[in-house]
Amino acid sequence: MWDYTEKVKEYFENPKNIGEVENPDGVGEVGSLACGDALRLTFKLDEDQRIKEARFQTFGCASAIASSSALTELIQGKTLEEAEKLTNKDIAAFLGGLPKEKMHCSVLGEQALSAAIANYRGRTIPKQQEGEIVCECFGVTDKEIERVIRENGLKTREEVTNYTKAGGGCETCHDKIEALLARVLKEEREARPAEGPPRPALTNIRKMKLIEETLEREIKPALKADGGDIDLIDIDGNKVLVALRGACSSCRAAEVTLKDYVELKLKEFVTPEITVEEVKP
Amino acid sequence: MKVVYMDNNATTRTAPEVVEAMLPYFSTYYGNPSSMHYFGGQVAKEVQEARSRVAALIQADPAEIVFTSCGTESDNAAIWGTLNSYPDKKHLITTRVEHPAVLNLATYLSKRGYRVTLLPVDREGRLDLDQLTAAITDETAIVSVMWANNETGVQFPVEEIAEIVKSRGAVFHTDAVQAVGKIPIDLSRTPVDLLAFSGHKLHAPKGIGVLYIRRGTRFTPFVIGGHQEKGRRGGTENVPYIIGLGQACRQAQTHLGEENKRVRALRDRLEQGILDRIPNVLINGDRGSRLPNTLSVSFEYVEGESILLLLSNLGICASSGSACTSGSLEPSHVLRAMGVPFTAAHGSIRFSLSIYNSEEEIAYVLDRLPPIIERLRAISPFWKKRTAEAG
Ligand SMILES: Cc1ncc(COP(=O)(O)O)c(C=O)c1O
Ligand code: FES
């Protein structure tokens, strides 16, 4: 049982601002089904360029839902310049704190906000990963880990996992995270005061999301037309594991379908590095 | 608030008769069973009686029963006890869906010079026995396969597995923590060498376990100390808990029929009721071979912890294989090993019943669960998208 504050419980049980704003000015989507939490934030501005209305849709645990709702409350009435200054710490503070294992929920909120603001300003989120993947299980890059370490003053590997999820799966990346942490902490100690923290990187969980979207939009309908279907089983860096169901799993051409079609589509819409492998049911 | 307890694979209520049987052994009969005097000696006799009842539940000889502190200790003792008895054999086989009591020990051993084979399971949670057969070599000291899975209730064909392992000359251990008391077990016919179970899963208290060691099995003690348990496990016997376990095993034996008829019917009603009332639901685990009390069900596009908390507000206790409840961030290793799609793995809930559950309770859950799922799906971005596409 998690030790949630009354405020978290209140915002989980009776969340405010659920849904979608009509004709939104900005839309930010982060996270994915694969990651276990996802947030879609929409907002609308008034004549004074202040956020008039903000709404959320969230898939996730109680603190993810509460954090999302808190985010929409926090940015109401703010200009984008003001809203931009909001960090995950403000979301957690608004809720009276989050269990440390759940801090990644507040980070999700911050990411959705920057994605939505970038969307409003006409910047699309770069599809390419920024930086190098450190944690394969959750597709988290060194850049993102570094940003979260600096913004939240993290000191230990466990904290990095709590805030970014990196390292929360198979644990093989722990050494890499430790090394990265040691480097950043060293740099922080020697920090030149003239230099502020780096601009927040855009979400890198985006890749998983793109893969899912591409499967849904480009691949599933075509397979279904042939009486088959495809399930996303796992994403391991750039390796996508899928299982074929129904007609295509028994079809001898399954191998061809996979390589030629699924991989081609994923390379086209996600990143050219993608490879696809079939997991036998 | 009334509590509707459907989390019996996590732990069970200690039966009132068990509590009653135990109490005199805290106050009146507090002697040490190893003592020379009559005061202690009379306790030894009762411990022996409890041992017989425990043995009877699994058709074993009382001399083959070793009391331990929990299921985890029994699993650890079985594996270490075998490895230390065969120091030249450096290979261990188990499955990807074991309880951490076995799986984390296997991982630990893999970092200390042992070769570990983790057998995969299929989408229904079943093992491929040919794969098991092929994995056993002369190097293999022990094969450890659970009798029934704690998350899905899927039962492995232990009798067949035991035959295979024995015919290849390795030692066979089974973690039967979820099986004992729920299904009939007859060790006079199933050639397992070692078997672990735990009191608190069958209405005895937490903190008492059993390791069955078949007569003639090589075994090096894991807890080294006094001569208790015929030198197989040191430490003064936990007398009240052993007495309690004896009573619980006796009751389990008389309830086996009920467990398999009435509890199974309740589980089936819950399962069918959920399928009838809620769309986009997946039942996890081979429905052809499942414990009678367990239901693992995935609700697509919602997350397990949210479901559990809303159920908990209504007094309904269940558990989740999903990541966010367990402290780890990945969805349950069992569901992942089964290849349950990500759309569903995060929204899995386990209901595990016992003889204390009633039809009214099932009806209550079936009444309250659908609005919870509907409410969470209304918040979920994926559900909206999905229905928009479908419409
Ligand atoms: C399959 C299985 N093995 C082992 C255990 C551990 O038993 P104990 O809690 O008595 O250590 C459990 C209990 O959760 C279990 O379900
Ligand atoms: S690679 Fe980071 S947890 Fe698996």
Q: How high is the pLDDT of residue B319?
A: 92
The strand pairing partners of B319, in sequence order, are: B350
Least confident of A5-14, A69-78, A236-245, B261-270: A236-245
Select the residue of A12, A15, A137 nearest B330 (Cβ to Cβ): A137
Q: What is the mean pLDDT of residues A257-261?
A: 65
> Parallel, antiparallel, or unpaired: how do β-strands B91-95 and B115-119 relate?
parallel
The pair of three-digit structure tokens given for residue B169, joined into one six-digit string: 């000359």
Percent of chain A exceeding pLDDT 70 equals 85
Query: How does residue A164 score in pLDDT terms, banded at 50, 70 and 90?
Result: confident
CA distance A262 to A276: 7
Q: How high is the pLDDT of residue A250?
A: 47
From first to last of its 391 residues, what are the pLDDT tens digits of chain B? 889 999 999 999 999 999 999 999 999 999 999 999 999 989 999 999 999 999 999 999 999 999 999 999 999 999 999 999 999 999 999 999 999 999 999 999 999 999 999 999 999 999 999 999 999 999 999 999 999 999 999 999 999 999 999 999 999 999 999 999 999 999 999 999 999 999 999 999 999 999 999 999 999 999 999 999 999 999 999 999 999 999 999 999 999 988 789 999 999 999 999 999 999 999 999 999 999 999 999 999 998 889 999 999 999 999 986 555 445 566 788 998 998 887 788 889 999 999 999 999 999 999 999 999 999 999 998 886 666 666 4
Tell me, yes or no, if B313 comes closer than 8 A to chain A by beta carbon: yes
Q: How high is the pLDDT of residue A225?
A: 67
CA distance B5 to B41: 40
Q: Which residues of B are catalytic?
A: 324
Closest CA to B176 of B101, B246, B81: B101
Q: Is the pTM of this model over 0.90?
A: no
Q: How high is the pLDDT of residue A202?
A: 41
Q: What is the 3-state secondary structure (H, E, C) of A205-252?
A: CHHHHHHHHHHHHHHHHHHHHCCEEEEEEEEECCEEEEEEEEHHHHCC
Tell me, yes or no, if A161 comes closer than 8 A to chain B by beta carbon: yes
Tell me, yes or no, if B339 comes closer than 8 A to chain A by beta carbon: yes
Q: What is the mean pLDDT of residues A79-99?
A: 90
Query: How does residue A213 score in pLDDT terms, banded at 50, 70 and 90?
Result: confident
Torsion of CA A207, A212, A216, A220, to 10 degrees: 110
Contact B379 A62 (CB under 8 A): no
Select the residue of B123, B346, B380 nearest A281 (Cβ to Cβ): B123
Closest CA to A274 of A212, A225, A221, A223: A212
Contact A59 B381 (CB under 8 A): yes
Q: Using the predicted structure, report yes or no on whether residue A200 has a pLDDT greater than 70.
A: no
User: What topology does CATH give the domain B16-252?
Assistant: Aspartate Aminotransferase; domain 2 (3.40.640)
CATH superfamily of the domain spanning B4-9+256-377: Aspartate Aminotransferase, domain 1 (3.90.1150.10)
Max Cα–Cα distance, chain B, nearest Å: 81
**B331 vs A256, higher pLDDT:** B331
Q: How high is the pLDDT of residue A124?
A: 58
Phi, psi (rounded to 5 degrees) for B116: -120, 130
Q: What is the CA radius of gyration of chain A?
A: 20
DSSP-derived 3-state class of residue B188: coil
The pair of three-digit structure tokens given for residue B49, joined into one six-digit string: 């009686």
Contact A62 B305 (CB under 8 A): yes
Is A19 close to ligand 2, i.e. is its CB under 6 Å away?
Answer: no
CA distance B340 to B88: 39
Q: What residue spans of chain B are helical by DSSP H? A: 16-22, 24-27, 38-57, 71-83, 100-110, 129-135, 158-167, 239-258, 264-277, 304-313, 323-326, 333-337, 342-345, 359-379, 381-390
Q: What is the mean pLDDT of residues A217-222?
A: 78
Residue B328: its H or E element: none
Q: Which residue of A has its CA nearest to B313?
A: A13
Q: How high is the pLDDT of residue A267?
A: 80
Q: How high is the pLDDT of residue A2?
A: 74
State chain A's mean pLDDT as an integer.
Answer: 82
Q: Using the predicted structure, report yes or no on whether residue A259 has a pLDDT greater than 50.
A: yes
The pair of three-digit structure tokens given for residue B235, joined into one six-digit string: 């430490």
B16-252: same fold as B4-9+256-377?
no
Is A175 close to ligand 2, i.e. is its CB under 6 Å away?
Answer: no
Which residues have C-beta within 8 Å of that of residue B309, sequence separation ≥ 6? A12, A62
The pair of three-digit structure tokens given for residue A92, joined into one six-digit string: 């957690």
ipTM of the complex: 0.84
Contact B40, B31 (CB under 8 A): yes
Contact B62, B55 (CB under 8 A): yes
Q: What is the CA radius of gyration of chain B?
A: 22
Contact A156, A149 (CB under 8 A): no
Cα of A177 from ligand 2 centre, angstroms: 10
Q: Which residue of B has its CA nearest to A102?
A: B324
**A225 vs B74, higher pLDDT:** B74
Q: What is the mean pLDDT of residues A238-247?
A: 77
DSSP-derived 3-state class of residue B34: coil
Q: Which domains does chain A have, with CATH numbers?
A: 6-120 (3.90.1010.10), 127-191 (1.10.10.1100), 204-278 (3.30.300.130)
Select the residue of A60, A101, A243 nearest B303 (Cβ to Cβ): A60
Q: Which residue of A has its CA nearest to B390?
A: A221
Q: What angle do CA B194, B200, B201 make, to 5 degrees?
A: 70
Break chain B into its structural domains and give their ranges.
Answer: 4-9+256-377, 16-252
Closest CA to B349 of B373, B371, B328: B373
Tell me, yes or no, if A38 comes closer than 8 A to chain B by beta carbon: yes
Contact B377, B301 (CB under 8 A): yes
The strand pairing partners of B119, in sequence order, are: B95
Measured over the CA atoms of residue B371, residue B373, residue B379 and residue B383, the dihedral's sign is: negative
Name the residue type at position A10: E
* Mutation to probe ligand 2, out of A35, A132, A133, A137 (largest number of atoms < 8 A from CB): A137
CA distance B231 to B221: 7
Collect all residues of chain A within an 8 Å Cβ-Cβ radius of residue B381: 29, 38-40, 57-59
The strand pairing partners of B180, in sequence order, are: B183
Contact B342 A161 (CB under 8 A): no
Q: How high is the pLDDT of residue A210?
A: 83
Tell me, yes or no, if B128 comes closer than 8 A to chain A by beta carbon: no
Collect all residues of chain A within an 8 Å Cβ-Cβ radius of residue B325: 61
Collect all residues of chain B within an 8 Å Cβ-Cβ radius of residue A2: 305
The highest-confidence range among A18-27, A132-141, A163-172, B377-386, by mean pLDDT, is A18-27
> Parallel, antiparallel, or unpaired: how do β-strands A140-141 and A239-246 relate?
unpaired
Estimate to the nearest angstrom the gap between the alpha carbon of A264 and the chain centroid: 24
CA distance A141 to A147: 10
Q: What is the mean pLDDT of residues A112-137?
A: 77
Q: Using the predicted structure, report yes or no on whether residue A128 has a pLDDT greater than 50.
A: no
Is B177 close to ligand 1, i.e. is its CB under 6 Å away?
Answer: yes
Select the residue of B123, B303, B389 nearest A36 (Cβ to Cβ): B303
Tell me, yes or no, if A116 comes closer than 8 A to chain B by beta carbon: no
The pair of three-digit structure tokens given for residue B89, joined into one six-digit string: 């054999």
Contact B307, B299 (CB under 8 A): yes
Q: Which residue of B has its CA nearest to A29?
A: B381
Cα A252 to Cα A148, A247, A258, B320: the distances in Å are: 47, 10, 11, 38
Q: Using the predicted structure, report yes or no on whether residue A251 has a pLDDT greater than 50.
A: no
Q: How high is the pLDDT of residue A199?
A: 41
Q: How high is the pLDDT of residue A203?
A: 59
Query: How does residue A257 score in pLDDT terms, banded at 50, 70 and 90?
Result: low
